[in-house]
Amino acid sequence: MAERESVTLVVFSGELDKALAAFNIAIGAASMGMEVSMFFTFWGLNIIKRNEGSIRSKGVMRRMLNFINRGGSKRLHLSKFHMLGMGTWMMKRLMKDVNFPQLEELMAMAKEMGVKFIACTTSMGIMGISKEAFIPEVDSFAGVATYLAEAREGRVNLFI
Amino acid sequence: MKADATLDCIGLYCPIPIAHTAKKLEELEKGQVLEILADDEGIKEDMPAWCKTTGNELLGIEEEGEQYRLYVRKS
């Protein structure tokens, strides 16, 4: 292959099932020799928040938001049938049952294959989330121009 | 068919088999053949698509009941 083809994924949603789909595609694309960038924005930021500690932010409203919307890969809900956690727990069990990796394993795999994680600074600013809230695997913090500059070169563009 | 290496992907679902195939093939030399054992039916369509994109050669797929043996030559 001449130049590497590229894939850009906008991960807007912060639900477990959608995150699984996003990482599934990212790993598939990386396996096919493509360069993959994942842009996490809005609720999607929850996927790349670290699971430990609390999220610090300024102001009552932002503190409240980050308390309710804590995020972290282990806290994500299914977009359907969460059922106070029972449905999500069951889905994780079903995945384990057929040896399908959990989200954290897929994320590690994607990273190992060179998939880039980019966090949207606008969403971070609005919601009052600092860089420290994210896992160290995040490669950069950027905006829409970074996404578009990569997307216009890419063959595959998805909004999840 | 004779292979230089075998990769066991029995019980693994998409995208893990192709991810493992990509990784394993890196260890092989050009022209060597990798045998992949799999039982996710999607692999019958996925491996040809993977090979078409990556430029590796799919030598064949053998079905044995609900399992598949796939042969890929590294180009």
ipTM: 0.86
pLDDT of residue A2: 53
What's the pLDDT tens digit per position in B51-70? 999 999 999 999 999 999 99
- Residue A75 belongs to some domain of the structure: yes
The verdict on a CB contact (< 8 Å) between A109 and B19 is yes
Among the partner residues B12, B19, B55, nearest to A27 by beta-carbon distance: B19
CB A46 within 8 A of CB A129: no
Q: What average pLDDT is seen over chain B?
A: 96
Task: Say whether B16 and A33 touch across the interface (CB within 8 A).
Answer: no
Enumerate residues 6+ apart whose C-beta is below 8 A from B33: B1, B2, B3, B4, B5, B59, B71, B72, B73, B74
User: pTM value?
Assistant: 0.92
Determine the pLDDT at residue A53.
Answer: 87
Asked if A99 and B19 come within 8 Å (Cβ–Cβ), the reply is no
Our count of domains for chain A comes to 1
Confidence of residue B43 (pLDDT cuts 50, 70, 90): very high
Residue A109, C-beta contacts closer than 8 angstroms, at least 6 positions apart: A23, A27, A101, B19
Question: Residue ranges per domain, chain B?
Answer: 5-73
Here the CATH number for the domain that contains residue A29 is: 3.40.1260.10
Place of tokens 């099932």: A17
pLDDT in tens, A1-36: 457 899 999 999 999 999 999 999 999 999 999 999
- Reference A155, options A1, A35, A7; nearest CA is A7
3-state SS assignment for residue A155: coil
Q: Contact B40/B17 with Cβ under 8 angstroms?
A: yes
CA distance A112 to chain B (A): 11
What pLDDT, on the 0 to 100 scale, is given for residue A1? 44
Strands of B57-64's sheet, edge to edge?
A: B5-9, B33-38, B67-73, B57-64
Asked whether the beta carbons of residue A33 and residue B53 sit closer than 8 angstroms, the reply is: yes
* Amino acid identity at A113: M
Q: What is the average per-residue pLDDT within B28-46?
A: 96
A151 Cα distance to chain centroid: 17
Domain range enclosing A18: 6-159
Interface contact B54-A1, CB threshold 8 A: yes
**What is the distance between the alpha carbons of residues B71 and A40, in angstroms, rounded to a whole number?**
37
**Is the separation of the CB atoms in B14 and B42 below 8 Å?**
yes
Known catalytic residue at B14: yes
- What does CATH list as the number for B5-73? 3.30.110.40
Residues of B in contact with A22 (CB under 8 A): none
Question: CA–CA separation, A93 vs A95, rounded Å?
Answer: 5
List, for residues A80-130, the tens digit of each pLDDT value.
999 999 999 999 999 999 999 999 999 999 999 999 999 999 999 999 999
Residues of chain A that touch chain B, judged by Cβ-Cβ distance less than 8 Å = 1, 24-25, 27-28, 30-34, 98-101, 109, 113
- Window 10-39 of B, Cβ < 8 Å to A: 11-16, 18-19, 21-22
Residue A15 lies in a domain: yes
Task: Work out the percent of chain B whose per-residue pLDDT is above 70.
Answer: 100
